[in-house]
Amino acid sequence: VGGVAGTGFEAYARILHPVPTTRMDLSTADEWGMHPVLEETRWSWAQVAARQGLTMHPLVQWNRLADLHQGISFDDGWQVGQTDEGRLGNDLLAGLMEHLARETVTPEELVVGIWNGWGELTGGVAVWYVAEGRGPAAWLARRRGHQEAERRLEEALRHDIRDAAAHGPHLEWPGREMVLFATSVEELSDPTWAERAGIGSQPGWPGIGPQLIWSADRSWVVASEIDWDSTIVAGSRALVDAVLADERLEAYEVDEDADLTWEGDVVNPPRAGWRAAP
């Protein structure tokens, strides 16, 4: 934890990223064997663990609760996907800002670090457009749709940000390079901020999120390591207590020496067929 969020803070909280969950109608299927979707929502890790008799604890790892490639399917039609790695959803970030705002004297002076490897920052996101039908008319519709999607993607990414992601200067984080942005508590308190920031995010897309956020007075740090499915909040005892008490956030207290690698969960057994890379 300390290697990601920094050391020396009074307390640390770990916020688990919720998982996309779908309820399917298993009583019917189309010609390709696909079941119709009845409901889409998000689940906490605790909901997934409870359905399998597994244990929630501060160092729980998603690879012990679900298959890292297939997720998990239940007999009643619920299907659990994968957690978002490297980003706390902007709606949850907006809620977190309520607590962070009270713990800084510089709410108008925040710094955000975003990993320069996101495809949205470099213009490297693939564009897909699907249109039914065959023949010249369908081909033309697909072609036009693809061009329109590419145009929207181009407009969503500012050229100066693309250049900064490609050429720097960068904040050098262990194994990562970050582009730095100036922002404020007010801006990040709006869940739609990324759509106007020129960082390649578009309405209706998951978009990207910051890997680091800190205030000018250095009273706290928020860190979302790009390969982690949880976010660390480091700061005062009062800040961490507020995060832990917020029912919108699935959070646990950790310390700066806590192991959040895949092997960090020594409570729940490895799933069948899973082993760590040598």
pLDDT tens digits, one per residue of 208-228: 889 999 999 999 999 999 999
Q: Give the residues across from 235 on adjacent strands.
A: 11
- The 10s digit of each residue's pLDDT in 39-66 is 999 999 999 999 999 999 999 999 999 9
Q: What number of other Cβ atoms are within 10 A of residue 267's Cβ?
A: 14
Q: Residue 133 has what pLDDT?
A: 59
Q: Which amino acid is at 10?
A: E
SS3 (DSSP) at 197: coil
Paired sense of beta strands 37-43 and 110-115, if any: unpaired
| Phi and psi angles of residue 92, each rounded to the nearest 5 degrees, phi first | -70, -35
pTM as predicted: 0.86
How much of the chain exceeds pLDDT 70, in percent?
85
